[in-house]
Structure formats: structure tokens, C-alpha cells
Amino acid sequence: MDVIYTIWLRNVKRYLRSKSRIVGSLGMPLFFLIILGFGLNSVVNISNISGNYVEFLVPGIVAMSVLFTSIFAGIQIIWDKQFGFLKETLVAPISRTEIMLGQTFGGATTAIIQGTIILVLSLFIGISIPGPGHLLIAFGFMTLIGIAFTSFGIAIASRIDDMNGFQLIMSFFVFPIFGLSGAMFPIQSLPLLFRDLTLIDPLTYGVEGIRFGLTGVSQINPVICFIVLSAFSVVMIGIGASLFRKIQI
């Protein structure tokens, strides 16, 4: 546990000390939230789901912020490879699984912080949360998203040595995952093919879980969302740990 905590603390401190990283990561979520939200607020009718389009969009943008921050946390693995820190860690008499878990929880924590910032900023544009219990539900789903996709990023980073290649591959995955998550438009309004793809996308269940936590309504039963996302998180931790144990320095 000391190994996991130490690596977790290192990642969190690196994140908190990088003010440019925190501010820079807010750009795209705020663009979607303000420009897209208010721009389509009077055009998109989602009265059967939420009060207005901005309220409908906020959970998706929070999930997007967590997704982007967590999935790109894997770049820390490549960075540590290039500067020798990972080699020094791997030759130590400690479990590689513990190292991977420390990296995962560290990346997930920074993702949750980033999502919380977006959530706090959304309070200033009028979103109202049903209660403290619902807020805890939202944070629970943010945590699952962070853990699942940080593990996914670490799994990919374990097989790649080039930082630019990692960013390109992650971009190839992250935009379809977000675009097909039902974050920006109601699932039932999508064509049948895209609706099926949306239900296959694991992020969909995270978005709907956060939506239930922040607005009290969701398009998918929150219990199903929790089960699916928890199972996906466990699978991704297993895959990430397996690939990380085989990493070559």
C-alpha cells in the first residue's frame, strides 16, 4: 500500500504544481459548455429528459473532462520511460501491479479534480443539484470513469514508446468514445445504428450515471450504469496490469 500511495501522491503533486496544465485542460470543456450549450439551448428540445439543454449538457461535459484527463494520464508512463524514472521503479523489489495501481489512482484523482472544477463552474450558469446524496452519486461515477480510462491509457502506453504516437492513438479512441456517449444529444433521438453504438460505449453509462446524480433523471437506469461501468473498470484494471507487467525498459 505504501508503494501505491507514494506513486499516487507523486502524480497528484505533479498535477497540482502544473497550473498551466489545469487551466489548459479547461479550454475544450468550457467551449462545449458555453458555446454549444447556450447556442443550442433554444433549438434542442429535451423537455422529457431535463429542464433545458444546458442542464442536459453539463453531465456530459463533466464526463468529457474526466475522460480526457484520465485517458491521457498514460502519457506519464512514456515520460517516465524516456527520463529513466520508470526503469528505477521497475528494478526495485516491489510489485509492478502496485506501480500500475498507483499510476491508475493518481491519474483518476487528477481527472476527478478536473471534472470537479467544471462542475463547480457549471453552478454559476444555473444548474441545480437535487441534494448531497445525488452529488455523491455523481462523484462515484466520475471515479469509475477516471479509474477505467486511466487504466485504458496505461495499457496503451505500456506498449508504446513514442509520445506523439500515443497522443495520436488516444485521439483516435477518445473522440469516438465521447461522441457516441450520449453526452450531447438524447439517445432516443439518434438513428438506430448510432443508438446501438451508444449503448456499446462504456462512457455512455458514466455520462448517464453523472446525469442522474446532477439532475435526478437519466436515460438509462443508474443501477445498470453502475454495474456496467464497474465491470468495465475491473476489466480495464486487469488488462492494464497485465500489459504493464510485461513492459520492457
Please report the DSSP string for 133-176 in residue order. Answer: HHHHHHHHHHHHHHHHHHHHHHHHHTT---HHHHHHHHHHHHHH
Which residues of the chain fall below pLDDT 50? Answer: none
Q: How many domains does the chain have?
A: 1
Q: Torsion angle, CA of 44/49/50/56, rounded to 10 degrees?
A: -60
User: How many CB atoms are located within 10 Å of the residue 230 CB?
Assistant: 16
User: How many CB atoms are located within 10 Å of the residue 235 CB?
Assistant: 14
Look at residue 20 in the predicted model and tell me its pLDDT: 76
Say what the pTM is. Answer: 0.90
H/E run at residue 211: helix 202-215
Q: In this predicted model, what pLDDT tens digit does every residue of 140-187 receive, in sequence order?
A: 999 999 999 999 999 988 888 777 788 888 888 888 899 888 888 888
- Alpha carbons 31 and 28: distance in angstroms, whole number: 5
Look at residue 26 in the predicted model and tell me its pLDDT: 78
- Alpha carbons 222 and 224: distance in angstroms, whole number: 5
- The answer to whether residues 154 and 77 touch, using CB atoms and an 8 Å cutoff, is yes
Cβ partners under 8 Å of residue 228, min gap 6 = 202, 205
Buried b / exposed e across 39-56, counting CB within 10 Å, b at 16+? eeeeebebeebbebbbbb
Query: In which domain, by residue range, is 106 found?
Result: 2-245
Directed axis angle between helix 75-83 and helix 132-157, to 10°?
40
Look at residue 39 in the predicted model and tell me its pLDDT: 67
